[in-house]
Amino acid sequence: MPIDSSIIIVSHNVLAFSGHPKDINKPDTMILERAIKFYKELHIDILVIQESPSEDFVKILADGLGLNYFFLQTKYLYGFPGCILSKFPFKQTFDYNKTISQLSDSIFQRHWGGVKVETSWGIIQLHSVHLCADWGGKFRESTRMKELTYLLNEVQTCDSCLANIVAGDFNSIPNSNPYDLMTEYGFLDSHLQNPEPTVPVPNPKYRIDYIFYEKSKKIKINPLSPTLPYYEDLNLFLSDHYPCIIKIERNDECQCLTTYQRK
């Protein structure tokens, strides 16, 4: 396997590739074709998607990008599935759809799942999640806290891994209870020093999308500024969220791998 000089990870709520503003869960082939072009320009190695279109469309996306994919089901017919795409082979996949289907009806109405991928540097463990949104005129942070507590108790520290990452749409702003819970469990905010808002498009004011990671001496995490195309001929943006983008680089000064120990 060739040695990678860096690894680019993008996490993005794509609004089912329906374009923005437009009706959700109605994927548009034209938007999907343009999304493939956009992601190719980012030189993505791993793409984590929330509000994914159906698996048929994900396969087209994966084929267009030359990536492997793992589709994350939702327990509702008209819910919000996800997917993880990777140029690296999947060493292990974590499908929590059966598990979450047995949980309270109010939690994990969207998706949660994960993978281990084998890079030229070592194993990356990555989980994708889409936490509950505020809907029906109610503030639903208590549901988000239940979801996140369950997830964090299941996502184990991987001492042998190059990186342990949780990415997605948390529907939570910085310093909210869900955000603070992530840090209490030893996860670091990749964009803490470069906190650019992700919603709403086109004039974002809030940051609710994140890539969290456990500290490792073997790698360096570099946040990159988000970008999002606007298509004048369609009068649409690619999505109603800006993506989160990080570049992982090796820390060659350290020959060991030490993972931050959770509280």
Query: Percentage of the chain with pLDDT > 90?
Result: 70
Strands, E assignment, the chain: 7-13, 46-50, 68-72, 82-86, 90-95, 111-118, 123-130, 163-169, 187-189, 209-214, 219-224, 230-231, 236-237, 244-250
Going by the DSSP 8-state scheme, the letter that residue 29 receives in this structure is H
What Cα–Cα distance (Å) separates residue 9 from each residue in 76, 115, 146? 28, 14, 27
Please answer whether residues 171 and 142 qualify as being in contact, where contact means their C-beta atoms are separated by less than 8 angstroms. Answer: no
**Which residues partner with 7 through β-bridges?**
248
Using 50, 70 and 90 to split pLDDT, how confident is the model at 24?
A: low
Structure token pair of residue 178: 């869900």
Instruction: Reduce the DSSP state of residue 33 to 3 states and report it.
Output: helix
DSSP alpha helices (H): ranges in the chain? Answer: 29-41, 55-65, 97-101, 141-154, 177-184
List, for residues 82-100, the tens digit of each pLDDT value.
Answer: 999 999 999 999 988 777 7
Q: Over 80: is that where the pLDDT of 106 sits?
A: no
C-alpha 210/C-alpha 206 separation (Å) is 12
Low-confidence winner among 49-63, 91-105, 160-174, 203-217 (lowest mean pLDDT): 91-105
Domains of the chain: 7-250 (3.60.10.10)
Mean pLDDT of 27-53: 94
Q: Which residues contact 138 (CB under 8 A, 6 or more apart)?
A: none
Greater model confidence, 159 or 171: 171
List, for residues 189-215, the tens digit of each pLDDT value.
Answer: 999 998 999 999 999 999 999 999 998
What rounded mean pLDDT belongs to the chain?
Answer: 89
The Cα angle at residue 57 between residues 80 and 92, in degrees rounded to 5? 70
List, for residues 205-252, the tens digit of each pLDDT value.
Answer: 999 999 999 988 889 999 999 999 999 998 999 999 999 999 999 887
